[in-house]
Amino acid sequence: MSAAIEFRDLFFSTPQGRLLLDNISLALEEGTTTAILGRSGSGKTTLLRTVNRMVEPTGGAVLVHGQKVREMDIIALRRDIGYVIQETGLFPHFTVERNVGVVPECHGHKSGDRIRRSHDLLATVGLDPKSFAKRHPHQLSGGQRQRVGLARALAGEPKILLMDEPFGALDPLTRAEMQDMLRDLLKRLKKTVLLVTHDLDEALYLADRIVLLDQGRLVVDIPASEFLASTQPEVQQYVNAFRRGARNAQAGDDQPLPATSPAEGGYAPEEGGYK
């Protein structure tokens, strides 16, 4: 399989000199989902935004289907890449139908085609076009807004989807429903997905590979199925921090558990999981 997205020796530093991406090299296979994990400020979103040139790297290169994005027409590049963010960014003055059809509209597609495409996509993401097409974003719940955002991202028939914490603001039950829907959708549509998330569970559920960033450096790039068993300290630290609540409930006492150490009830991969 060829790389759909490739980061080559990528650097990004702010005009103030803060290094946000530090020599990242990574290749994403066509049709796979890659989750990027890491602390806030570790460079996850910056890395994602270099793909559609929302951020221009200060060193190295990003390639999409073998072509350097810097040499591509920026408008054409962006229209060929779906983009979903936590805040959805739905246009408040457009109906749901028009929000979904905005990329075909910019391509100059006829109104009838756009409406048909919007309705098909709404059905694909689990929204009945009859009851949702004419609504405005403020008349939707958080989960419904995310579904519309996803439908809009798919409207240009992109091969690549960039998703920046798409379900981060949703309650756990809605998030689980959205994850199920997305997993099913990705299985059918075979998109290359780059997913930024804080949620380890989400990464394990949706991704084929997991990439861990720390202070702009790539720490780990492994198959999702191997992530929990990794002995790398940064991975263990992340896993421990994520599973504190469950461990605490299992331990049944009020003693706070360590956030980072695998000892004393922490994650012990050599023993097959949690103590």
Identity of residue 258: P
- Cβ(54)–Cβ(196) below 8 Å: no
Should residue 92 be labelled a site residue for another protein when binding is judged by CB under 8 A? yes
Strand partners, 61: 8
For another protein, give the closer residue by CB, 107 or 110.
Answer: 107
Q: Contact letters (x/-) for another protein, 47-66, by CB under 8 A?
A: -----x-x------------
d(CA 269, CA 162): 32
d(CA 275, CA 266): 6
For another protein, give the closer residue by CB, 156 or 216.
Answer: 156
For another protein, give the closer residue by CB, 117 or 209.
Answer: 117
For another protein, give the closer residue by CB, 56 or 264.
Answer: 56
Q: Contact letters (x/-) for another protein, 148-187, by CB under 8 A?
A: ----x---x-----x-------------------------
Q: How far is the CB of 107 from another protein (least distance, A)?
A: 9
Should residue 103 be labelled a site residue for another protein when binding is judged by CB under 8 A? yes
Length of the chain: 275
Q: Which residues contact 219 (CB under 8 A, 6 or more apart)?
A: 212, 213, 232, 234, 235
Cα distances (Å, whole numbers) of residue 3 to 62, 67, 173, 192, 216: 11, 11, 34, 10, 22
Should residue 108 be labelled a site residue for another protein when binding is judged by CB under 8 A? no
For another protein, give the closer residue by CB, 17 or 92.
Answer: 92
Detail the DSSP E strand segments found in 86-152. none
Pick out residues in 190-249 that bind another protein (CB under 8 A): none
